[in-house]
A and B are shown apart, each in its own frame.
Chain A
Amino acid sequence: MSEEKGVIYRISGPVVTAIGISPRMYEVVRVGDEGLMGEVIELHGEQSVIQVYEETSGVRPGEPVIRTGQTLSVQLGPGLLTKIYDGIQRPLPELEKTMGVFITRGVDADGLDLEKNWQFNPTVKAGDSVSPGDVIGTVQETTTIEHRVMIPPGISGKIKEIKSGEFNVTQTVCILDDGNEVQMMQKWPVRTPRPFTKKHAPEVPLQTGQRILDFLFPLAKGGTAGIPGPFGSGKTVTQQQLAKWSDADIVVYIGCGERGNEMTEVLDEFPHLIDPKTGEALMNRTTMIANTSNMPVAAREASVYTGITIAEYFRDMGYDVALMADSTSRWAEAMREISSRLEEMPGEEGYPAYLSSRLAEFYERAGRVETLSGGDGSVSVIGAVSPPGGDISEPVSQGTLRIVKVFWGLDAGLARQRHFPAINWLNSYSLYPPSLDQWYRDNIKTDFPEVRTQISSLLQVEAELQEIVQLVGSDALPVDQQLTLEVARMIREFFLQQNAFHDVDTYSDLKLQYTMAKAILSFQEESKKALAGGSALEDVVNIPARTDLMRGRFESGYEDRIEEMLDAMSKQIADTMEDN
């Protein structure tokens, strides 16, 4: 298109008004003498309102504004993994090279390395018919992940020529009969969901190795979860645990308006972490987007869209993708900030009236789908929410809870007792168990769902008993109820608590989780018998084997020794009867 040029009329923080151009909504424009990147967010008579992704100090009215004709897009192709980007897909290491350690502005950088050559191995041959989403070749992107090069949406036909060998992402690797050329790189506008054939019901759990999540409140592959919690309750640690241990093929981690040091920690730590499944560095399956709280607010608004578009792209290859957004509240605040600069009529607490529909649109991009090529892929979305004062009656939490199917409610009280993960087992929920139970029966143990129900009802009973204990003290309870309290305490301290910073305890697979849960139930079972046989509760709960069982989870090889420990426990419980 012809280059259309206008001028700046007004600047107010990240919002710039231009006159003299008539762009499309969400078109990307270049603002000012330095060519700052911006996006058109409102058309108002002669004026176009632009949100600028970079700091606007020093920009003056009268400077030029240039249309680009494109909407905000990301570059998709080999080279996305192991990268760390800012909110508009500029690689941070590239920015460091051109700007130094402080982020200045006016620098453009490609999301993909356009020079790098990749070994392209075709999977189709000349004469094959292809349509959008079909895989035409593969590239070994990292040691573990094979990048599948797809026909971009909107193109189809018979293959005239397909190449093989080393190419960079902009070189043509395939020519169709109608003359269309296909490169390894495609561009996609971030605000538009990528197409798929249809959505499936989620039937497979996303295994995270976190006992309270997997066992009590599971998330399905393709599902959505919200983690609201006040500061200091462990949102970020939980998100990072999921990024580390969840059994997705690809992880997209969005640090949206959060702390700089936290992103650095992830950057330092991930390359050294080993994927328990493949034995390779976890970084090989990860893409990170970091827009810290002091980076420009408009780019923060864009960062979640950049992230989910990359996630969808890998989904289209047939991968299971997990996306973590930490924190969606910062994204909502960015919307609020821009909205107030536009002088829009505010909804609740100053948030724009379209807040909940934006949240819904975002979470709706999750799902397990049949891809255009007939494959099966999923995007699971886990969004952290940071409610002011920990009060989830605020608009962002409420807007999120209306959409997500899993609610992991973090609790400041638990965090204060250093009970981590500080997820409240009484008010958290997951709506997935009914659709996942068959999978557990087939793959773990046939009575898995029943064991789960027993564990969670014990916790419920404990909560009721605790109310009585608060009034009369635990000694006033009958002995079987005192035992229930002891068993529930065991569930809390031994099963639900999990130390994210401990080498062994940080991850438990589903089989181990099941075994641990069973161990607790068998303690209850045998203790009941012992009590009926005349043992004193004091003696039963203080058997050394119980402490060994609980402490043992911090030692490697626990799975192998647990049977032995259980035998010792049975024996010791039985012995308490003989003592009497």
Chain B
Amino acid sequence: MTGKEYRTITDVKGPLVFLNKTEPVAFGEIVELRLSDGTLKNGQVLDTSDDQVIVQVFEGTASIDKQTGIKFLGDVFKLPVSKDMIGRILDGAGRPRDGGPSIVADEMADIIGAAINPYSRQSPSSFIQTGISAIDACTSLVRGQKLPIFSASGLPHNDIALQIARQAKLVDSDDDFVVVFCAMGITAEEYNFFVHDLERTGALENACLFVNLADDPAVERLITPRLALTAAEYLAFEHDYHVLVIYTDMTNYCESLRQIGAAREEVPGRRGYPGYMYTDLAMLYERAGLVKGKKGSITQFPILTMPGDDITHPIPDLSGYITEGQIVISRELHQKGIYPPINVLPSLSRLMNAGIGDGKTREDHKSVSDQLYAAYAQGRELRGLVAIVGEDALNERDLQLLKFADIFENQFLRQSRDEDRPIGEGTLDYAWELLSNIDTKYLVRLDQKWIDKYHPNEKKN
């Protein structure tokens, strides 16, 4: 493509620049804008026709005037990728932020990322032990899964994400994880917290960070996760790494998406978010997984803060429809002083059944987890009843379940930030011990053969 520079801007609106032009411009093409003071900005073509081209400017449209020169670079957005990205901190547009040299590209990778052919995928089935009982027992994580943390402001989701990043390990192999961390619009303070913790534990050497902070351009957030995932795909599928992608905060990403939609005067869907937000989020989340014939894998941990703690808000709602489950952080548990405050009832791991059981975790895992759920759910329900009628009105079974709900929260969920519980003799045995507070005849979800083998008081050997 020629290096022709256009100065035909007609309108500038929010993050969008409209211009008339003379030559055909490709949809999705990358654009370089040269301001009168020589500053360079980047953008991408959102709409193109013979009469008008609409460009979305990543760094924001501040200082753009009608004299700004626009050059079409003839290609779609590509990221230079290399193994050397591990251990580096890059900004939201993929440039070094740690003062180090530029990334020397082994390859230029298209950041949009093509869809993986469902036929070429491999079903995720390797259990990842996080050492957190609530997750390991009840919403087990599997390699290649995308499991978001649904949180809200003021809750310790960052601690949980870091604890997972620190402790995550495969039970069936010694391979380590490489962490790709993608920050979108988080505060400098949160960023420092992450970097400090990664440094403290030495994990930074095994991580690659893409950082867009709260005061960086909002539109840039739309490409940051795509860059992170492109790097993750390269590391996983070209270099056989097991990659754990943590991105925070998806809510900021969606806000940026809404901003662009509004600037384009699109017909909005629910709460002003664009109608294509589902597809757009899917194009990020679906980049998790395993592929037949490749050793590496991508496991995703998106963190999102639910506006107003509302799980039906479009951001958690659409995410939940795409991701393979969710881990829900509860304000109620947090206020009771329980860490990690994971409410297992609305939490779910869709791939759990594929990753647990004999040979993976333990044969009784499914039964135990079902029983924990059922007993805790009924116990919590009874709390409401007790508030009205008092404990005297409960029968024996209900009293035991009521007590169990407290035990479950205070002993099973609660653990320290450094406590790494192994699945078998840690989490599951502990679950049995706690379940033994309930009369065996009420434990209908447990197979008799597991009761005979694992129940602390009824073991038959």
The answer to whether the Cβ of B410 comes within 8 Å of any Cβ in the partner chain is: no
B-facing residues in A359-413 (Cβ within 8 Å): 386, 388-391, 412
Q: CB-nearest residue of chain B relative to A394?
A: B270
Surface stretch bound by A, among B208-216, B239-247, B372-380, B419-427: B372-380
Please determine whether B119 and A349 come into contact, CB atoms closer than 8 angstroms.
no
Q: Which of B29, B275, B326, B374 contacts A350 (CB 8 A)?
A: B275
Measured between beta carbons, the chain B residues less than 8 angstroms from A13 are: 27, 276
A197: Cβ under 8 A from any B Cβ: no
A232 CA to B282 CA, complexed, in Å: 17
Residue of B nearest to A231 (CB): B320
Is the C-beta of B126 less than 8 angstroms from some C-beta in chain A? no
Q: Which residues of A contact B282 (CB under 8 A)?
A: 257, 292-294
Main secondary structure of the interface of B (DSSP, over half): mixed
Contact of B286 among A58, A260, A389 (CB under 8 A): A260
CB contacts under 8 Å to B, within A131-168, are none
Contact: A416 with B50, CB < 8 Å? no
* Contacting pair B118 A92 (CB below 8 A): yes
**Residue of A with least CB distance to B276:** A337
Query: Given that A57-B27, A416-B345, A417-B377 are known contacts, is A340 also in contact with B121, CB under 8 Å in the complex?
Result: no
List chain A residues, Cβ under 8 A from B267. Answer: 340, 343, 346, 350
Q: Tell me whether B144 and A9 are in contact (CB under 8 A).
A: no
- How close is A565's CB to chain B, nearest CB, in angstroms? 15
Q: Which of B121, B279, B395 contacts A260, CB < 8 Å?
A: B121
* Known contacts A267-B119, A294-B286, A474-B395; is-contact A59 B27 (Cβ 8 Å): yes
Q: How far is the CA of A260 from the CA of B114 in the complex (A)?
A: 13
The reply to whether B278 and A293 form a contact with Cβ atoms under 8 Å apart is: yes
The one of B47, B118, B145, B384 in contact with A11, judged by C-beta atoms closer than 8 angstroms, is: B47
Report the Cα distance A285→B278, complex, angstroms.
32
Report if B336 contacts A (CB, 8 A).
no
Contacting B at CB under 8 A, from A50-68, are: 55-63
A416's partner among B76, B115, B278, B346 (CB-CB below 8 A) is B346
| In the assembled complex, A104 has its CB within 8 A of some CB on chain B | yes
Least distance between B288 CB and chain A CB atoms (Å):
8
- Distance in Å: Cβ of B352 to nearest Cβ of chain A: 10
Pick from A9, A388, A551: contact of B444, CB under 8 Å: A551
Q: Is the CB of B26 within 8 A of A59?
A: yes
B275, A260: Cβ atoms closer than 8 Å:
no
Tell me whether A265 and B444 are in contact in the complex, defined as CB-CB below 8 angstroms, given that A260-B116, A336-B275, A340-B275 are known contacts. Answer: no
Q: What per-residue 1/0 map shows which CB atoms of A288-321 lie under 8 Å from chain B?
A: 0010111101000000000000000000000000
Instruction: Please tell me if the beta carbons of B115 and A294 are within 8 angstroms of each other in the complex.
Output: yes
**Contact indicator per residue, chain A 256-289, by CB within 8 Å of chain B (1) or not (0):** 0101111111011000000000000000000000
Binds A, one of B4-12, B93-101, B185-193, B385-393: B385-393
Q: Is the CB of A58 within 8 A of B118?
A: no
0/1 interface trace, chain B 360-386, chain A, CB 8 Å (1 if under): 000000100010011001100000110
Residue A108 at the chain B interface, CB threshold 8 Å: no
Cβ contact of A475, chosen from B75, B393, B441, cutoff 8 A: B393
Cβ-defined partner of A61 (8 Å) among B49, B279, B377: B49
Q: Number of contacts between A and B (CB, 8 Å)?
A: 222
A179 to B321, CA, bound (A): 54
- From known contacts A293-B286, A350-B267, A473-B394, infer whether A57 and B119 are also in contact, taking CB-CB under 8 Å: no
B291 at the interface (CB under 8 A from A): yes
Partner of A103, one of B27, B48, B115: B115
Q: How far is B311's CA from A175's CA once the two chains are assembled, in angstroms?
A: 63
Identify the closest chain B residue to A17 (Cβ): B49
Residues of chain B contacted by A232 (CB below 8 angstroms): 320, 325-326, 346, 348, 350
Chain A: number of interface residues, binned into ranges: 35 or more
Per the bound structure, the CA–CA distance linking A173 and B310 in Å amounts to 63
Q: Is there a chain B Cβ closer than 8 Å to A203's Cβ?
A: no
CB distance from B398 to the nearest CB of A (A): 8
Q: How far is the CA of A95 from the CA of B49 in the complex (A)?
A: 31
B interface, size bucket: 35 or more
Q: Does B416 contact A (CB under 8 A)?
A: no
A472 within 8 A of B: yes
> Which residue on B lies nearest to A294, using beta carbons?
B286
Would A547 and B444 count as touching, CB distance under 8 A? Answer: yes
Task: Let me know if B92 is at the binding interface, CB within 8 A.
Answer: no
- Tell me which of A469, A474, A550 has the highest count of chain B C-beta atoms within 10 A of its own C-beta: A474
A340-B267, A350-B268 known; A551 vs B118 contact (CB < 8 Å): no
Q: With an 8 A cutoff between CB atoms, is A470 at the interface?
A: yes
Question: Inside 8 A of A230's CB, which chain B residues have their CB?
Answer: 320
Q: A61-B48, A261-B123, A473-B385 are in contact. Are A386 and B116 (CB under 8 A)?
A: no
Binary interface encoding of chain A residues 45-87 relative to chain B, with 1 for a CB under 8 A from any of its CBs, else 0: 0000000000111111111000000000000000000001000
Q: Is the CB of A265 within 8 A of B385?
A: no
Set of chain A residues within 8 Å of B220, measured between Cβ atoms = none
Contact with B along A472-491 (1 / 0, CB 8 A): 11111000000000000000
Q: What's the Cα separation between A343 and B394 when bound, in Å?
A: 60
**Contact of A101 with B286 at beta-carbon distance under 8 Å, contacts A261-B324, A337-B276 already known:** no
A386 to B314, CA, bound (A): 13
| Interface contact B320-A264, CB-CB below 8 Å | no
Q: Which residue of B lies closest to A337 (CB)?
A: B276
In contact, B48 and A101 (Cβ under 8 angstroms): no
Task: Given the known inter-chain contacts A57-B26, A60-B27, A333-B278, please indicate yes or no for A390 contacting B312, CB distance below 8 A.
Answer: yes
Tell me if B317 is interfacial: C-beta within 8 Å of chain A: yes
**Interface positions of B from 260 to 318, Cβ below 8 Å from A:** 266-270, 275-276, 278-279, 282-283, 285-287, 289, 291-294, 311-314, 317-318
Interface residues of B in 66-115 (CB under 8 A from A): 75-76, 112-115
In contact, B275 and A337 (Cβ under 8 angstroms): yes
Question: In the complex the two chains form, is B366's CB within 8 Å of A61's CB?
Answer: no
Question: Within the assembled complex, what's the spacing in Å between the Cα atoms of A152 and B324?
Answer: 44
Chain B residues lying within 8 Å of A330, measured Cβ to Cβ, are: 278
How would residues 115 to 138 of chain B score, 1 for a CB under 8 Å from any chain A CB and 0 otherwise?
Answer: 111111111100000000000000
A195 contacts the other chain (CB 8 A)? no
The 10 closest A-B pairs by CB, nearest first: A473-B393, A389-B312, A10-B49, A293-B282, A57-B28, A92-B119, A102-B114, A231-B320, A101-B120, A294-B286
- Besides A57-B28, A101-B293, A290-B118, 10 new A-B residue pairs in contact (Cβ under 8 A), listed by A number: A100-B120, A232-B325, A232-B346, A261-B121, A268-B123, A337-B276, A388-B318, A389-B313, A412-B346, A475-B393
Question: B interface vs A, CB < 8 Å?
Answer: 24-29, 46-50, 75-76, 112-124, 144-145, 266-270, 275-276, 278-279, 282-283, 285-287, 289, 291-294, 311-314, 317-318, 320-322, 324-326, 345-346, 348, 350-351, 353-354, 366, 370, 373-374, 377-378, 384-385, 388-389, 393-395, 441, 444-445, 447-448
A-B contact pairs, 13 of them (CB 8 A): A57-B26, A96-B119, A102-B113, A103-B115, A264-B123, A330-B278, A346-B267, A350-B267, A388-B318, A389-B313, A417-B378, A470-B385, A474-B393
